[in-house]
Structure 1
Amino acid sequence: MKPFSLVSRRLALALLGAVLIGALAFVVMRAGPLAPTRVTVVKVSEGRFAPALFGIGTVEARRSYLIGPTAAGRVRVVAVDVGDTVRPGQLLAEMDPVDLDQRVAALEASRARAGSAVAAAQAQHQDATARRELAIVNARRYIELGEQNFISVGAVEARRQEQTSAEAGVSAAQANLDAARQDLRRLAAEQAALHQQRTNLRLLAPVAGVVIGRDAEAGSTVVAGQAVIRLIEPTSLWVKVRFDQGRSAGLAAGLPAAVVLRSQPSQPLAGQVVRVEAVSDSVTEERVALVAFDHLPAGVSVGELAEVTLTLPATAPALLLPNAGLQRQGEQVGVWRVDGSGGLHFAPVRVGRSSLDGQVQVLDGLDAGDAVVVHSEKALTARSRIQVVDALTGLLR
C-alpha cells in the first residue's frame, strides 16, 4: 500500500504543478507583459460637420476717451466719479486758470486801446485826404494861370509841391490806418486764443458715456495730454479675441459667435465678428478678431474675460475620424488600421478640417468602413497583438 500512496502523491503533485504552470502561463499571456494590448476601434464613416473656432478674449470699448488738459496745470475740481453716466457737454473736471483771467482782461483793454488807435488813424486819413483834394484844386488853378502868364513859374511849382506833399500825407495816413487795423486783428486773435485756452480748462464730456477712471484729484498737477477722466461709450463694447493661427482657417468678418462671459457662464450671448486684425501676434502665434454683441448685456464690465466660439459654414460630405486616432510615425501622419485577421497596419492619411468635438476630415488614405484604432493602452507597432474592447478602464500601462 505504501508504494501506491507514494505514486498517487507524486501524480497529485505533478498535476498540481501543471495546473499552476498553466495558470501562470495564462496570466502571463492574458495580463502580463505578453498579453495583447487592449484598444478601442472605430469604423471610418462618411459625414459632415460645422467647424468651429474657439478663443479667449477680453471685453473692451471700441470708443474710449482719455480726457485731460492741453497744457500743464493744476486740477481745480473733479465733478464726476467712477461709474457715473454723463451726457454730452457735461462738466467733468476743471483746471486752475492761475492768471489766465487777468491776462484776458489785460488783452481786452489792449484791444480797446487798439480800437481807439484805429479811429484816430481813420480821422488822420480823412484829414490827409481833404488836404490832398484842396492841394489838387489849387495846383490845377495855378497851372491854368501860369499858362496865361498871370503868375510866375515858381508859384506854379510851389502849388505842385503842395499837391505832392498832400498825396504823401494820404499815403502815410493810409499806412498808419492799415497798421492800426492789423494790430487790432492781432489783439483780437490773441484774445480768441486766450478765450480758447480758458475754455479748454473746462474738461467736458464729448459724448454720452460712463466714467471708468478718475486718474487725478483736485490739487494735483498734470502735464499736457495726461488723462484726468477716462470715459467710454457703453454701446461700443466688443470682445477682443485671440485664436490659434494653426486653427484659424476660415476666420472672417461676419461669422456668428457665441460669447460666454466669465461673470455669466450659463448665459451664452449672441454676437458677430466685425473685424479681423491684419496684424497677427508672432510671439504667441495668434490671430486677433473683434466680436460685437448683438444685444449689449447688462452688467458687463471692461476687461472681463470671455470665451468665444465661432461657427463656420458646414463642410462638404467626407470621411470622418476621431482625431485621437491620428498618430505620427517619423515624418508621416496616419492611423493604425485593423485588418480582418486582427493585424495592424500603419496607414498614412491626409487630413482636412477638424471640429471642436474631436472629429477630423480624412481626405486620402482610408475607405469608408475601415476599422481604425482610436485609443490603446500603450504604443503600438505592426507586430503588436491587440484585444478590441468597448472602453479602456483602469490605469494605462
Structure 2
Amino acid sequence: MNIMTVKGFSGKWLFWGVFALLALAALVYTVRPEPVWVDLASVSRGPLEITIKEEGRTRVRDRYVVSSPVAGYLHRVPLEVGDAVIPGELLTEVDPMPASTLDARSRAEAEAKVQSARSALNSTRQKVAAAEAEADLAIRELSRLKALSDDHFVSDERLQQARAAADRAQAILRSARFDEEVMAHELAAARTRLEVSAARETGNGNVERVPVRSPVNGSVLGVARKSEGVIQAGEPILELGDPGALEVVVDVLSFDAVKLSPGVSVRLTGWGGGSLDARVRRVEPVGFEDVSALGVEERRVQVVADITSSPEAWQSLGDGYRVDAEFLLWQSDNVLQLPESAIFIGDGQHQVFRVVDDRAVLTNVSVGRTNGFQTVIQEGLADSDRVVRHPDRQLEDGSRIRVR
C-alpha cells in the first residue's frame, strides 16, 4: 500500500467520524427536552405586616332621638341636617290634642312615670360621678407620665397610651353627662304630662303649645318629620348627636373576628384624608348573616374601634362616612420573605424550585407567618436567592428553565 492510498483511507475515516459526531449532536439537540418558561421571584429582607382589611363606616357614639311628648299638631321643623343645637334650644312646637281630665288610674300611672324618670336621673348621676372619678384619675396619670417623660423615665408609647386613656375617659364622661341631661329632660317631660293640661286654654283663647327642646349639645343627624301635621305621642321628630365623638364600626367575617380582641391596633385609610390610628374597643359577641355583592351568604361580626389620632386630623369626618380599616395582627421591620405563589406542598413539607445555573433545584424550606402575598422564610433559602413563581407540573428537580 503506497502513501497515497493510506492518506486517502485516513481522510475518509476522518470525514465519516466528523459526520457521525455532527449527526449525534444534532440528534441529542433534537431529542433533549426544551427549557421550561418560568417567572422568577427573589428572596428579600424587609418589613412585613399581617392585617385584616375590611370596609367600615363612622358612627356617632351617642345618638338621641327627639320625639313628640304629646299627641297633637306638629309645627314645621326649621332645622336642617348638620345644624348645631344647644341644650334647651327650641326645636319645634306641638299643639296638643284636646285631652280629657285624668282619671284616678291615669293620674297614678303619670305619677309612677315621674318617679321612674326621677330614679333614672339619680342612677345616671351616679354614673356621671363614676365617670368623673375615672376621668380625673386618667388626667392625673397623664400629667404624672408627662413629668416623667421630660426626664426620659417613660417611653413615648406608654405616654401615648396614657393620652388615649385620658381621651377615652373624657369621652365617656361627656357621654354620661349627655345621658344625665336626657334623663333630666325626660323627668321634666313626665312632670309636664302630669301637671300641664294639653287641653287648657288661656284667657285670650290661645291653645297652649308644648315646646320640643334639644336635650343635648350637638348637631342634627337626621330629620324624621320636616313638615307640619298630626303627630302621635312618642313619634320621632329629630335625631341629635355629637359629631365630635365618632367611632368606627366594621363588619368582619366571623372567621377573622376570632383573631381580634380589644386593644388591637387599627389603621384607617380610604376616607379622603391621611392615615388615622384607631384601637379596637369591642368585638360584638353575636354574629349576623350578610349577603355579599356576589350573592354569597356570610357570617359577620361587628367590631367597634375608637379613633386615637388627634381630632384635628379627622375633623372633616362625619357620621356614616366610609373608611377602610386594617386590623394589625402581626408585624416585623426586617424579615426574610418570599412571595406565597412560589411555595407548594410536596412530600408533606413546603418546597420551592430554587434557580441554580439556569436549572430548577427542588429545595425544602421552613416557613413562618404569611399575609397571603408574602411568607416568612425561616430555613432553606438565603437573601437574594431566586425561585420559580407559580411552578407548574412540567418542572422537575434539575429541569432547565428559561425566564419569560
Indicate the TM-score class for this superposition, using the shorter chain for normalisation: 0.5 to 0.7
Shift of 1:306: 0.6
Runs of 5+ consecutive residues of structure 2 not aligned to the other structure? 1-18, 105-189, 200-207, 290-296
Q: 1:74 to 1:347 in 2, by over 3 A?
A: farther
In structure 1, the partner of 2:277 is 270
Runs of 5+ consecutive residues of structure 1 not aligned to the other structure? 1-14, 108-188, 393-397
The answer to whether structure 1 residue 93 and structure 2 residue 92 are counterparts is yes
Asked whether the equivalents of residues 70 and 96 of structure 2 are also in contact (C-alpha less than 8 Å), the reply is: no
In structure 1, the partner of 2:319 is 302
Q: 1:274 to 1:77 in 2, by over 3 A?
A: same
Alpha-carbon distance in structure 2 between the residues aligned to 1:376 and 1:190: 75
Q: 1:256 to 1:383 in 2, by over 3 A?
A: closer
What are the superposed Cα offsets for residues 152-209 of structure 1, whole Å, 9 maximum, x if unpaired?
xxxxxxxxxxxxxxxxxxxxxxxxxxxxxxxxxxxxx999615287999433222111
Shift of 1:57: 0.6
Alpha-carbon distance in structure 2 between the residues aligned to 1:239 and 1:302: 10
In structure 2, the partner of 1:153 is none
Identity %: 20
Q: CA RMSD in A?
A: 4.5
Shift of 1:69: 2.1
Shift of 1:213: 1.4
TM-score by length of 2: 0.54
In structure 2, the partner of 1:195 is 196
The answer to whether structure 1 residue 367 and structure 2 residue 380 are counterparts is yes
Q: 1:260 to 1:343 in 2, by over 3 A?
A: closer
Q: 1:376 to 1:79 in 2, by over 3 A?
A: closer
TM-score by length of 1: 0.55
In structure 2, the partner of 1:177 is none
Alpha-carbon distance in structure 1 between the residues aligned to 2:232 and 2:349: 61
Letter in 2 for 1:234: P
What are the superposed Cα offsets for residues 256-291 of structure 1, whole Å, 9 maximum, x if unpaired?
3332243x24x2223322222223445434443222
In structure 2, the partner of 1:284 is 298
Asked whether the equivalents of residues 208 and 233 of structure 1 are also in contact (C-alpha less than 8 Å), the reply is: yes
After TM superposition, list the pairs within 5 Å mapping 1:47-62 onto structure 2. Answer: 49-62=48-61
After TM superposition, list the pairs within 5 Å mapping 1:95-244 onto structure 2. Answer: 95-100=94-99, 193-195=194-196, 201-244=210-253
After TM superposition, list the pairs within 5 Å mapping 1:306-345 onto structure 2. Answer: 306-312=323-329, 314=331, 320-327=337-344, 334-338=350-354, 342-345=359-362
The structure with the largest strand share of the pair is 2
Where 1:278 maps in the other structure, the secondary structure is strand
Where 1:83 maps in the other structure, the secondary structure is coil
Q: 1:285 to 1:336 in 2, by over 3 A?
A: farther
Larger radius of gyration: 1
Where 1:242 maps in the other structure, the secondary structure is strand
Shift of 1:353: 2.9
Letter in 2 for 1:273: V
Alpha-carbon distance in structure 2 between the residues aligned to 1:256 and 1:270: 7
Shift of 1:63: 1.0
